[in-house]
Amino acid sequence: MTSCKRPVTAMLVGNPNCGKTVLFNCLTGDHGTVANYSRVTVTPRTYPLKHSGAALHIVDLPGIYTLNGCLPEERAGRDALHFGHPEVVINVLDAGNLHRSLFLTIQLVETGRPCVFVLNMIDEARSHGIEINTAALSAALGGPVIETVAVDGVGVPALSTAITELSHRSESWRAPIILYDDDLEAAIARIQAIIAELHPATLDAGQSRWLAIKLLEGDSEFLERESEHRALIDEVRTACHALEVHHGEDCASMIAHARFRFIKALVGDVQSVTSTPTARSRLTRRLDDLLLHRFLGLPILAGLMWLMFQATFTLGALPMAWIDTAMHWLTDQVAALIPPSLIHDLVVNGIMAGVGGTIVFLPNIVILFFFMSILSETGYLARAAFLLDRLMNSFGLHGKALIPLIMGFGCNATAVMATRTIESQRSRLIAILAAPYVSCSARLPVFILFAGAFFGDWAGTVVFALYATSVAVALGSAILFDRLVVAGKDEPFLMELPPYRRPSPGSICHHVWDSAEDFLRKVGGVIIVGSIAIWFLQQYPTMPATTPVAQRLEQSYLGQIAATVTPVFAPLGFGWKDSIAILTGLLSKEVVVSSYAVLNATDKDSGNLREALSGGMTPPVAISFMVFVLLYAPCLSTVAVIRREAGGWRWAGVSFGVSLVIAWSLAFITAMVGGFLV
């Protein structure tokens, strides 16, 4: 019965920003990252879904506009469909954007795979006065059409049922054929005949037709794959040439044109639009009048960013104090529980001090991500890319690099991965190398600690200034890398501006929870390991109990290591504790804070970490230190991702080396200027 059935694979395919990932979450119960800007999903992800007795694997593919393979995601999508042999393709369409969404749909239908068509965001389409006749659409496309509102879970059970039903009859699926112009059809038929001869029995009529169309379209990878068959390639060339001469248009354009003609007719049949603009579309227009205003647009953007960071700091203060109190109470309880011993020291002064010193920043991270997810879900982030493209472009960066760079405020490793959306290898490399200078959330604890300790009421402004510095250095470094890396041509900037959308509380919760979870996992992993290592290094070699604390630290392994690197940092005004914190921060930037916590926990005289710090350096040195921490060496995980994404240790090395030079130089200048002013 059903138990012996092999699992069924279903692939989610659709344009960027059509709500695929939200739908994926609804179907699987998983919480991926969701945002109202294009290309959030960068790698196919697979999750099993148990539904009506049959195991269903749902694969979420990156958002694509075509199966042409111009972009890495398009190649990934096309290859997944071609080689992954999905039993069912779930094509997600933006119901309010039927015309353009169908361009991909036509190509999916042509692959011959069984398709379910999902009209997502049907509520938004209706609010724009759009009505769609699903029965007629289903008849034309040959597969079930389901209306959904993924963010509210509307229509998801119906979709699950449709997927399962379709998977049962995937063997008997017959795809409808989209007819092209007579001349094109004649060429397709001739090429199909040659293909049938070359690949007898391996390809059915639908597949050979698809291959013929791909070859006529000039898909370079398919041409490459068939390059051994001279007769076939020659026929394709001859046909293309004849068509071009006869119609005065290249083959790919002819095919695209025919598809759009088909779509136009189809949309005319199934869609009706009330001509008056609705309240919803008027709202988007009004908001854009303000937010994209010629003179007000950029100041508003800057103001929103400033507000976001200010709120992160001020709103975070209260829960921070609670967590701090709770951690102190917990530490006291644990300290009382374990008798004085080496274990006591390790747990209380090592692990608990390190974790406690870092976990207090959880509220800040939650608040920052809360704002970030609101900005992206409402559609404002796409507007920000639009406003800033000209500026980005003058720094040698692609406007599309904005989204990865903004994601960099969360995590640089994620940012580097997100650069996959940039088509040209060269523009992408520049973005990858610039991304680590964007101040990630792991640096925030360091800034909050230092800015709070040294600048009191001005702390929010200081943190804002550091973020501004990070943006300036990221852009400046892009110019540097633009000159450094091989010359190439610019990539066109094609970006959809979605209508403004009400952020769904569910998605925001997932988004915030993801970042909080990620942070907590770091606290649980890297930071515990780092804290133990630092505790160990400062505890050994063992010395008589009578040795003064300061002397004991100086003679510990940690003190010895610090002594060797401190001269490098001496011109910046950093002491040995700072050198230690910097070294340990190579693991991950939050470790800088936990290192200070561990280093100061041994020093019983200093109660509060902030007080302990403010005695240790002058405000200009504190700024210089923050600048250094901001810019030096990407963390371990980011280095690993750069190596993977940029293709080799060479670029990871370049990134690492250049960042050390930039960090040291700017910190030095800061210390000099600061010393001069004070």
| Binding residues for another protein restricted to 396-425, rule: CB under 8 A | 399
State which of residues 389, 578, 590, 645 lies at the interface with another protein (CB under 8 A). Answer: 389
Answer yes or no: are the C-beta atoms of 92 and 20 closer than 8 Å: yes
Q: Which of 133, 125, 131 is nearest to 95 (CA)?
A: 125
User: Residues 285-324 vs another protein: string with x where CB under 8 A?
Assistant: ---x---xxxx-xx--------------------------
| 224 is a contact residue toward another protein (CB under 8 A) | no
* Interface segment toward another protein; rule CB under 8 A; list 154-162, 226-234, 255-263, 438-446: 255-263
* Interface segment toward another protein; rule CB under 8 A; list 226-234, 256-264, 467-475, 590-598: 256-264
| Binding residues for another protein restricted to 369-388, rule: CB under 8 A | 386-387
Structure tokens given for 266: 């189809």
| 391 is a contact residue toward another protein (CB under 8 A) | yes
SS3 369: helix
State which of residues 9, 28, 33, 66 lies at the interface with another protein (CB under 8 A). Answer: 66
Cα–Cα distance between 155 and 118 in angstroms, integer? 9
Name the residue nearer to another protein (CB basis): 161 or 393.
393
| 393 is a contact residue toward another protein (CB under 8 A) | yes
Task: Answer left, alpha or beta for residue 175, where phi above 0 means left and psi between -120 and 50 means alpha.
Answer: beta
Which long-range contacts link 66-70 to residues 24+ away (Cβ below 8 Å)? 66/103, 66/104, 66/107, 67/104, 67/107, 67/108, 67/111, 68/217, 68/219, 69/219, 69/220, 69/221, 70/423
* Interface segment toward another protein; rule CB under 8 A; list 66-74, 437-445, 461-469, 658-666: 66-74
Q: How far is the CB of 489 from another protein (least distance, A)?
A: 9
Judged by CB under 8 A, the number of residues near another protein is 40
Task: Answer left, alpha or beta for residue 155, where phi above 0 means left and psi between -120 and 50 means alpha.
Answer: left
DSSP state of 656: H
Structure tokens given for 412: 């640089």
Name the residue nearer to another protein (CB basis): 18 or 353.
18
Q: How far is the CB of 68 from another protein (least distance, A)?
A: 5
> CA end-to-end span of the chain, whole Å?
81
Q: How far is the CB of 224 from another protein (least distance, A)?
A: 15
State which of residues 41, 97, 531, 579 lies at the interface with another protein (CB under 8 A). Answer: 97
| 268 is a contact residue toward another protein (CB under 8 A) | no
The distance between the two most distant Cα atoms of the chain, rounded to a whole number of Å, is 97
* Interface segment toward another protein; rule CB under 8 A; list 92-100, 521-529, 606-614, 662-670: 92-100
State which of residues 202, 238, 253, 551 lies at the interface with another protein (CB under 8 A). Answer: 253
* Interface segment toward another protein; rule CB under 8 A; list 204-212, 243-251, 311-319, 613-621: 243-251
Cα–Cα distance between 39 and 33 in angstroms, integer? 11
Q: Which of 560, 578, 606, 557 is nearest to 349 (CA)?
A: 606
Q: How far is the CB of 154 from another protein (least distance, A)?
A: 22
> What is the separation of C-alpha 54 from the centre of its chain, rounded to a whole number of angstroms?
32
Q: How far is the CB of 232 from another protein (least distance, A)?
A: 20
Answer yes or no: are the C-beta atoms of 39 and 376 closer than 8 Å: no
Name the residue nearer to another protein (CB basis): 65 or 467.
65
Name the residue nearer to another protein (CB basis): 246 or 328.
246
State which of residues 50, 172, 224, 248 lies at the interface with another protein (CB under 8 A). Answer: 248
Question: Which pairing describes strands 45-51 and 54-60: parallel, antiparallel, or unpaired?
Answer: antiparallel
Cα–Cα distance between 434 and 416 in angstroms, integer? 9
| 246 is a contact residue toward another protein (CB under 8 A) | no
H-type helices in 142-229, by residue range?
156-168, 182-198, 205-217, 220-225
Q: How far is the CB of 425 from another protein (least distance, A)?
A: 13
Instruction: Give the CA distances from residue 275 to residues 131, 278, 498, in Å, rounded to whole numbers and listed in that order.
Output: 12, 9, 20
| 181 is a contact residue toward another protein (CB under 8 A) | no
| Binding residues for another protein restricted to 463-492, rule: CB under 8 A | 490, 492
Residue 251 φ/ψ, nearest 5 degrees:
-60, -45
| 37 is a contact residue toward another protein (CB under 8 A) | no
| 57 is a contact residue toward another protein (CB under 8 A) | no
Q: How far is the CB of 444 from another protein (least distance, A)?
A: 29
| 79 is a contact residue toward another protein (CB under 8 A) | no
Q: Which residue has the tokens 């540097």?
A: 480
State which of residues 177, 233, 252, 586 lies at the interface with another protein (CB under 8 A). Answer: 252
Q: How far is the CB of 473 from another protein (least distance, A)?
A: 22
Enumerate residues 6+ apart whose C-beta is below 8 A from 24: 12, 30, 32, 45, 47, 58, 60
Radius of gyration of the chain (CA): 29
Q: How far is the CB of 81 from another protein (least distance, A)?
A: 16
Name the residue nearer to another protein (CB basis): 43 or 253.
253
Indicate the length of the chain as a whole number. Answer: 678
Name the residue nearer to another protein (CB basis): 35 or 671.
35
| 72 is a contact residue toward another protein (CB under 8 A) | no
Name the residue nearer to another protein (CB basis): 96 or 410.
96
Q: How far is the CB of 249 from another protein (least distance, A)?
A: 8
Q: Which residue has the tokens 């009191």?
A: 456
State which of residues 218, 319, 506, 619 lies at the interface with another protein (CB under 8 A). Answer: 218
Name the residue nearer to another protein (CB basis): 399 or 410.
399
| Binding residues for another protein restricted to 494-533, rule: CB under 8 A | 494-497
Question: Which pairing describes strands 88-94 and 130-132: parallel, antiparallel, or unpaired?
Answer: unpaired
Listed in order, strand segments (DSSP E) in 52-182 are 54-60, 88-94, 115-120, 130-132, 145-147
| 256 is a contact residue toward another protein (CB under 8 A) | yes
Q: In 10 A of CB 197, how many CB atoms? A: 11
Enumerate residues 6+ apart whose C-beta is below 8 A from 19: 92, 94, 120, 121, 150, 151
Listed in order, strand segments (DSSP E) in 550-669 are none
User: Contact positions toward another protein, by CB under 8 A?
Assistant: 65-66, 68, 70, 96-100, 103, 218, 248-250, 252-253, 256-257, 260, 288, 292-295, 297-298, 386-387, 389-391, 393, 399, 490, 492-497
